[in-house]
Amino acid sequence: MEKILKFSRDNKAIIVLIFLALGFGIWNLNTKQASKPVPIKTESIQKKPDLPKKSAEKILMIDIQGAVKSPGVYRLKEGAITQEVIKLAGGITEDADIKQVNQAQKVTDQMQIIVPRIGDTSENKTENKGSESKSPVNINSAKVEDFQAVTGIGPKKAQKIIEFREQNGNFKSLKDLTKVSGIGDKTLESLKDQLTV
């Protein structure tokens, strides 16, 4: 024991160096372990499938007449129903016979909806066309709005008639209407009682 104490007294510097070396070694070992890159778990990121782009919604042109507050032509998105057209037209009037209208029916482009008044029946409407109350529409002076009173002529067909008239002059007879694209002999037959030159 005395030898160890004597050695330690005589060689303090060496012992200090040994402790320093041990301490440095331990510190160096810890530093290397700390600096090792930690493996990062990478999860594969699933790419969301590209959703199909919505195609542009088709716009429908609907003509509504009869017992509504604001009859006229309205634009609606495809898939709309008759009830929506009636709302756009300000709703029904007090004398409307809404029971005769299928409000759930899907509308189609250039469709005409007529909301009947109480007391009107489809038979009455047919009789009225042939006889009287509405005066025939003059195809040489009528505007698009005037053609709205003619069953079977929507806004597009009315525009075609007007364009043909402007390019070729006035119609000499109703038969000349068959020169307009989209109007054949059968169509003319159904229209002739409502038109004049």
Which one of 29-43, 60-74, 116-130, 177-191 scores highest in mean pLDDT?
A: 60-74
Residue 190's pLDDT is: 82
**According to CATH, where is 3.10.20.600 located in the chain?**
57-124
**According to CATH, where is 1.10.150.280 located in the chain?**
134-197
pLDDT in tens, 59-105: 889 999 989 999 999 999 988 999 999 999 999 999 888 888 899 99
- Quote the CA–CA distance of 194 and 173 in Å, as a whole number: 14
Of 197 and 121, more confident: 197
Q: By CB neighbour count within 10 A (0-12 exposed, 13-18 middle, 19+ buried), where does 24 fall?
A: exposed
Of the options 3.10.20.600, 3.40.50.800, 3.10.450.50, 3.30.110.30, the CATH number for the domain spanning 57-124: 3.10.20.600
Cα 30 to chain centroid, rounded: 66
For the 134-197 domain, the top CATH level (class) is: mainly alpha
pTM for the model: 0.37
| 169 conformational bin, left if phi > 0, alpha if psi -120 to 50, beta if neither | left
Of the candidates 67, 71, 153, 76, the residue with the CA atom closest to the CA atom of residue 109: 76
| 95 conformational bin, left if phi > 0, alpha if psi -120 to 50, beta if neither | alpha
Question: Residue 14 above 50 pLDDT?
Answer: yes
Phi, psi at 61, each rounded to 5°: -105, 120
% of the chain beyond a pLDDT of 90: 14
pLDDT, average across residues 33-52: 55
